[in-house]
Amino acid sequence: MDTETLAAVFIEFADTLVDEFDITDFLRLVTRRCGELLDVTTAGILLGDHEGSMRIAAASTEQTRILELLQLLTDEGPCPDCFRTRLPVVVPDLTEPATLEKWPRFAHAAIEAGFASVHTLPMRLRGKTVGALNLFDIRQGNPTRTTLHLAQALADMATIGILQERAVRHQELLSAQLQQALDLLRPVTLGGAEHDLEPGDTAEEASSTG
């Protein structure tokens, strides 16, 4: 891959994160760019919550989405393992006996879908793991060190986007709760008259001024 293409993709990600963005569209963009930059067939993203449950966030093809769903339903496959251990999972050959024994339903389904290998990277930042990035390929083989480093960089960029979106949602929720509390405080109706509470006033003081 050339440096200009790589730079253009990271600039695209950065521009997306600066403005208001839809997290689903952003993660779909990440999966598409993974296929282009990493020379893999398809990519998918599963996200987890603080309770350990996971959900499908994005997939570059319908086949990938089905394999992601299968991992959720069976709790087997590289993504659940990666999410739990917070370590990369590299499977250069899905037909290896050890892989077929460890993930029988996932491995057979992936092979039937035409895939020969899968590599999964943790999506983490400052000790917090939010999900996993799955890379499926129709060819067998180990990824190069450079490819793994780039894949992890893409996973990290996606993680930043997810945490930023969650922070914005949390701030919006706090603002809404604060506004609701303020709306309840003023005006206060006491004895048929309305009184605006000033900072430090109590209901009794408001009543006495009426």
pLDDT in tens, 178-201: 656 666 666 554 444 555 545 555
Would 75 be classed as within a structural domain?
yes
- Domain count for the chain: 1
Residue 207, in any domain of the structure: no
The model's pTM: 0.73
- Tell me the C-alpha distance between 133 and 120, whole Å: 5
What pLDDT shows up at residue 184?
67
Q: What is the CATH number of the domain that holds 52?
A: 3.30.450.40
> Per the structure block, which two tokens stand in for 12?
């695209």
In a domain, 48, yes or no: yes
Provide the sign of the torsion angle of the four alpha carbons 153, 92, 110, 107, taken in this order: negative
Tokens of 66: 């089905």
pLDDT digits (tens), the chain, 210 positions: 567 777 777 777 777 666 666 778 888 888 988 888 888 999 999 988 767 688 898 999 999 999 999 999 999 999 999 999 999 999 999 999 999 999 999 999 999 999 999 999 998 877 778 899 999 999 999 999 888 998 988 888 888 877 776 655 545 555 555 656 666 666 554 444 555 545 555 445 544 554
Would residue 16 count as lying in a domain?
yes
On whether residue 61 sits in a domain, the answer given is: yes
Domain containing residue 133 = 3-169
| DSSP secondary structure of 115-169 | --EEEEEEEEETTEEEEEEEEEESS-SPPPHHHHHHHHHHHHHHHHHHHHHHHHH
Whether residue 178 is contained in a domain is answered as no
Do the domain assignments include residue 124?
A: yes
Identify the H or E element spanning 28: helix 23-38
Residue 149 placed within a domain: yes
